[in-house]
Structure 1
Amino acid sequence: MKRYAVFGHPVAHSRSPRIHAAFAAQCAIELEYTKIDASPDAFAGAVAAFGRAGGLGANVTLPHKLAAAALCEQVSDRARRAGAVNTLVRASNAWHGDNTDGVGLVRDLQARHGLDLHGRRTLIIGAGGAARGVAPALLDAGIGALVVANRTPASARTLLDAIDAPASARACGLDSLPMLGAFDLVINATAAARGDGLVALPASLVHTGSAAVDLGYGAAAAAFLDWARDAGAGVQVDGLGMLVEQAAESFMRWHGIRPNTDPVYAMLRADDGG
């Protein structure tokens, strides 16, 4: 049996096993896909033990995406630009890293929600592994001016430097948000904006043509999407479609087959009563 897993802390909520089981059934592939909860201190050891036990690949979620990059003998160009890894591939007794978050987000926004990203003035809230994962792909998709806002502005600047952002890209603190005007695309990429309640976001950040995207899904995305709706953003998108699309990209890295994501996305929406 081919062994795969998702690493996180916490990870009990993860839908990755259900997604990959559906992909495997669709593609007639037998596999075992489990959840592994590892604290930051235990993460490296847990990944090593999984490899020794025959693990062939893994997904990595919060808070380990940055740490996962350090465990890899090689990383893809998109993982290098992001400085974060969400997909591990076992090859020649070593881990190779990739980051499928960005391509998953772009594919979901363009193909599923019909959004033209070209030229959109874009705000990313947060500068952690999730933001690093999606920012390069958004730039490659042709977004317009980019602003990254974070509690610590220096971390936002570090992100822009790491992803080779254009000189026009700007880093700022959350206290600068009221002075930034409206954006065509606002992405919530920070768990801090969800865990203890949404940070104060001015309604001036969006207009009727704006798309507001939370990289989380379910209850984790509710506060931000409620804010976006109340503020007048014309489109609100949670991260469920991105989750499915990035998983499909991981699945293709492991098995060489791209699954059909639409029925799996519909399955998860049905699970939520949507």
Structure 2
Amino acid sequence: MDRYCVIGNPIGHSKSPAIHAAFARQAGQALSYETCLAPLDGFADTVHKLIDSGYRGANVTVPFKIAAAELAGTLTERARAAGAVNTLSFRDGRIAGDNTDGAGLVNDILHNAGVAIAGKRVLLLGAGGAARGVILPLLEQAPAELVIANRTLATAEALVKQFGSPLLRASEFQRLSGAFDIVVNATSASLAGDLPPIPPETFCPETLALDMMYGKQPTVFMEFAARHGATVRDGLGMLVEQAAEAFATWRGVRPDTAGVLLHMRSQL
């Protein structure tokens, strides 16, 4: 039986084993998938031990995504653009790195929310690792514009320069103007029950507002967006979709995510 895991610290809260077990049942794939707690200073050693034990791949979560990119011998274009890896594949002693977060976000917007990205005005809140990982996949959908808003303008400007796309623009939160078709909260504010200081006019009845965080209750960002007319969505769909992308990378089979997403929602 092929073995996979998700590496992190902490890791006990991870929903990845349940998601991948559901995908395996659906696809008739014989595999095991568990959590792996790595020491904060022992990520590389942990990965090599997994390889020596016959593992075929691993997902990577906080705080090891950058370390995973540094460890991988080869990177996909989207992993290089993100500067971080959440999916490792092991073959013949070699380590290949990918980042499926952006694809997960895009698939959730397109297929689960049923909202097109092409030609739309898109706002990405935050300029950290979570934001960096989704910029390239969003740009590949050809939005009319992708605005990266951040508390520190220079950080957002650095991302605009890095990606070098004419579709990209940087802004401070407070200087945003007009409503957007899609707003993605990639900041960590929701973890603290906080809200990025964005104008209410950012939202309108045609806006899809998506928070990368998820939970049993709507986040403060989702509540704020809904009060100003937006349709809101949390990050659970993105989580399931990025897992499906990793599963397809490993197994060559793309699982149907709809039923798995409904089941995971019922378990919150």
Q: Does TM, normalized by the shorter one, top 0.5?
A: yes
Q: CA deviation at 1:241?
A: 1.2
CA contact (8 A) 2:20 2:243 kept: yes
SS in 1 for 2:195: coil
CA contact (8 A) 2:190 2:219 kept: no
CA contact (8 A) 1:178 1:205 kept: no
Q: Deviations over 1:69-111 (max 9, x none)?
A: 1111001122122222111111221210111111221111111
Tell me, in whole angstroms, the C-alpha distance in 2 between the residues paired with 1:270 and 1:134.
27
CA contact (8 A) 2:176 2:198 kept: no
CA contact (8 A) 2:143 2:167 kept: no
SS in 2 for 1:232: coil
Tell me, in whole angstroms, the C-alpha distance in 2 between the residues paired with 1:26 and 1:54.
24
Counterpart of 1:56?
A: 56
CA contact (8 A) 2:75 2:98 kept: yes
Counterpart of 2:98?
A: 98
Q: 1:107-126 to 2 correspondence within 5 Å?
A: 107-126=107-126
Instruction: Report the residue type matching 1:14 in the other structure.
Output: S
Counterpart of 2:8?
A: 8
- CA 125–39 in structure 1, closer or farther in 2 if over 3 Å, else same: farther
Tell me, in whole angstroms, the C-alpha distance in 2 between the residues paired with 1:80 and 1:204.
35
Tell me, in whole angstroms, the C-alpha distance in 1 between the residues paired with 2:54 and 2:3.
7
- CA 113–179 in structure 1, closer or farther in 2 if over 3 Å, else same: closer
Q: CA deviation at 1:151?
A: 3.2
Selected match of 1:250 from 238, 246, 249:
246
Tell me, in whole angstroms, the C-alpha distance in 1 between the residues paired with 2:127 and 2:101.
14
SS in 1 for 2:171: strand
Query: Structure 1 stretch 190-199 or stretch 70-79: which is displaced more?
Result: 190-199
Instruction: Report the residue type matching 2:255 in the other structure.
Output: P
- CA 41–182 in structure 1, closer or farther in 2 if over 3 Å, else same: farther
SS in 1 for 2:124: strand
Q: Identical aligned pairs, as a percentage?
A: 45
CA contact (8 A) 1:194 1:223 kept: no
Q: Point out where structure 1 has 5 or more consecutive residues left out of the alignment.
A: none
Counterpart of 1:200?
A: 197
Q: Deviations over 1:143-175 (max 9, x none)?
A: 12121122333332332333x24235222334x
Counterpart of 2:234?
A: 238
Tell me, in whole angstroms, the C-alpha distance in 1 between the residues paired with 2:40 and 2:121.
35
Tell me, in whole angstroms, the C-alpha distance in 2 between the residues paired with 1:26 and 1:264.
9
Q: 1:207-246 to 2 correspondence within 5 Å?
A: 207-218=204-215, 222-233=219-230, 235-246=231-242
SS in 1 for 2:156: helix
Instruction: Report the residue type matching 1:200 in the other structure.
Output: P
Q: Point out where structure 2 has 5 or more consecutive residues left out of the alignment.
A: none
Tell me, in whole angstroms, the C-alpha distance in 2 between the residues paired with 1:144 and 1:53.
48
Tell me, in whole angstroms, the C-alpha distance in 1 between the residues paired with 2:12 and 2:38.
11
Q: CA deviation at 1:34?
A: 1.4
**What count of residue pairs does the alignment treat as equivalent?**
268
Counterpart of 1:269?
A: 265
Tell me, in whole angstroms, the C-alpha distance in 2 between the residues paired with 1:157 and 1:85.
23
SS in 2 for 1:11: coil
Q: Deviations over 1:26-45 (max 9, x none)?
A: 12222221112335433333
TM-score by length of 1: 0.89
Q: 1:49-198 to 2 correspondence within 5 Å?
A: 49-162=49-162, 164-174=163-173, 177-195=174-192, 197-198=194-195
Query: Structure 1 stretch 42-51 or stretch 8-17: which is displaced more?
Result: 42-51
Counterpart of 1:18?
A: 18
TM-score by length of 2: 0.91
Query: Structure 1 stretch 44-53 or stretch 223-232: which is displaced more?
Result: 44-53
- CA 211–270 in structure 1, closer or farther in 2 if over 3 Å, else same: same
CA contact (8 A) 2:9 2:38 kept: yes
Q: CA deviation at 1:125?
A: 1.2
Tell me, in whole angstroms, the C-alpha distance in 2 between the residues paired with 1:64 and 1:153.
26
Tell me, in whole angstroms, the C-alpha distance in 1 between the residues paired with 2:248 and 2:82.
20
Query: Structure 1 stretch 149-158 or stretch 115-124: which is displaced more?
Result: 149-158
